[in-house]
Structure 1
Amino acid sequence: MDVPEEPSRIISLSPAVTETLFMLGMGDRVVGVDSWSYRPREALKVRRVGSYATLNTNVVRELSPDLVLTTTGVQRPLIDQLKAAKVPVFPVPIPSTVFELISGVALVGGLVGKYEEGAKLAEGLHSRLVELSRLRFSTPVRAYIEIDLGGPTVPAFFSHITSALHLLNVHNVYGNVKQAYLYGVKVADFPLFDVSDVFRTDPDVVIYEFKRKQPSGEEVKELVRSRGWDKLRAVREGRLVVLPADTLAHHGPSFLDNLRECLVKVMDSLGSPSPSP
């Protein structure tokens, strides 16, 4: 597909890509986004063209984009839909490592003609990652990580989350599974993951990302009760790290800020000194 040198009417179907476009100074050229794009806050003013997995092609045609940026994975049917409608589309791969997350930022910069800006943004993120890696634990911390994406979703080896935490010497207990994610609900083409398997792994810390931005104390208690996590050594000893929605799941430029937030909470749970602001 021919990509315009400097597209002037862009639709983004990825929250990570949307955030990247705004950070590249291209926000005024973004005419449509998916319903999950809220970073930065200015993105909330942009017209919604669908959800992460569905698309209103009538709205897309009305907006007359000269470039639609998607991800891969579950958005492959959307790519086919856009191609069938003769809409220019380019899929930005979902990162399987934190390094691919950073290179993806540079890729978006190149696609929209912001070569220098994309390179500088990626270099800045790399520098942040190096700084964070200096705070890594001296001995490995074994972690169970789960994200509520409408059902239990557990990062495995091919996830930017596993990769990023490993740099901090936080080892995902499912980091040796050849998938991006394990699913505790039925997902086509994937085996059903038994969330009770966490008891077998006996992690040092449990990291749980809620579906809501501000989970209540009652919600945390109900989670522990319903899963029987009070029998987990990590939870019993106060090492349950609770994160708001879209902290680690997000794979845009602000992920490194979110990673630091997670690191601080893990350090606090283990009684380690937190890094200075």
Structure 2
Amino acid sequence: MKLVHDWLGPIELPDSARRIVSLAPNATETLFALGLGERVVGRSAFCYRPAATLGLPVLSSYTRVRWELLRSLEPDLVLVSTGVQRGLLEELRQGGAPVFPVPLPQSPYGILENIVLLGELLGVGERASRLCAELAEQYSRLAGILPPLRVYFEFDLGGPISVGRGSYVGEALRHLGLVNVFADHPQSYFPPDLGAVPSLHPDLVIYEPKPHRARSWERAAALMASRGWNYPLVVNGGDELAHYGPLFFSYLEQLERQIERLGL
């Protein structure tokens, strides 16, 4: 398949790759959702959804790759994302790997675009279109479903990270009807000034911990108390909105239900 990539320029990839190494969790999740899991021969340490991925060889962290193992798998396609994997993309490209970067979405609709992109790249465009139609309907049902609560959102990514303009998470919060207190911040993802948060008068804190943490709500509540904050708190299951595969829309539904139960 010949195509022109915004970053890489003209590239040529197999018409329907059969041995895929996916080093981006969103891409790995999409491949399985499209019924292409049998083509995936390797993954990153962060690709653990769905559970079927766990038996695959681990070739990389998010930014480093095990070249000897990668070459031994003889992939005809290596998938990465843009954003923080840009350095890895360049390393793979210079090393001669058949690499394709999946764009970082600017809104949840960009997640759907990526599904179509991968579907076309792998010869299952019709299947991808059907999946996108289902996910778009799921997303549309959430439009304006919550009151305009002022929300401070935080990822635990080795430290607090919040979202501003141009982030798909910020746009998803707006779609639900919420008001991101950093909606006007001129950076998509950034370490927030925690001291400034109370002056923004949030009605609610949404916290996304690292995955697989025991007693995550209690840990998050203790963290908020250490900051002197006493806002209503929602804690999701960890690493849910940070990765933008097809499950993003189900995680957003779960978040909406958690907020509804607070009765704010």
Q: Same fold (TM over 0.5)?
A: yes
Aligned to 1:47: 57
Alpha-carbon distance in 2 for matches of 1:227, 1:14: 34
Letter of the structure 2 residue corresponding to residue 136 of structure 1: I
Alpha-carbon distance in 2 for matches of 1:195, 1:101: 30
Secondary structure of residue in 2 paired with 1:208: strand
Aligned to 1:35: 45
8 Å CA contact 1:155–1:161 kept in 2: the answer is yes
8 Å CA contact 1:215–1:244 kept in 2: the answer is no
Among candidates 134, 151, 155, match of residue 143 of structure 1: 151
1:264 has 2:241 as partner = no
Q: How does 1:126-275 map to 2 (within 5 A)?
A: 126-133=136-143, 136-137=145-146, 139-183=147-191, 193-216=192-215, 218-230=218-230, 235=231, 239-271=232-264
Identical amino acids, percent of aligned pairs: 38
Shifted more, 14-23 versus 243-252: the winner is 243-252
Taking a change above 3 Å as real, the CA distance of residues 214 and 76 of structure 1, as seen in their structure-2 partners, is closer
Count of equivalent residues: 253
C-alpha displacement at 1:178, in angstroms?
Answer: 2.2
Secondary structure of residue in 1 paired with 2:88: helix
Taking a change above 3 Å as real, the CA distance of residues 218 and 142 of structure 1, as seen in their structure-2 partners, is closer
Alpha-carbon distance in 1 for matches of 2:218, 2:132: 40
TM-score by length of 2: 0.92
C-alpha displacement at 1:214, in angstroms?
Answer: 4.4
8 Å CA contact 2:156–2:210 kept in 1: the answer is yes
| C-alpha RMSD of the superposition | 1.4
Alpha-carbon distance in 1 for matches of 2:206, 2:255: 8
Among candidates 49, 55, 67, match of residue 57 of structure 1: 67
C-alpha displacement at 1:215, in angstroms?
Answer: 4.2
Secondary structure of residue in 2 paired with 1:229: coil
Aligned to 1:187: none
C-alpha displacement at 1:264, in angstroms?
Answer: 0.8
In structure 2, the gaps of 5 or more residues are: 1-10
Letter of the structure 2 residue corresponding to residue 6 of structure 1: S
TM-score by length of 1: 0.87
8 Å CA contact 1:13–1:69 kept in 2: the answer is yes
Alpha-carbon distance in 1 for matches of 2:188, 2:218: 31
Alpha-carbon distance in 1 for matches of 2:78, 2:113: 19
Alpha-carbon distance in 1 for matches of 2:211, 2:100: 31
8 Å CA contact 1:11–1:33 kept in 2: the answer is yes
Deviations 1:250-270 (A, max 9, x none): 210000110011111111123
Secondary structure of residue in 2 paired with 1:207: strand
Letter of the structure 2 residue corresponding to residue 252 of structure 1: G
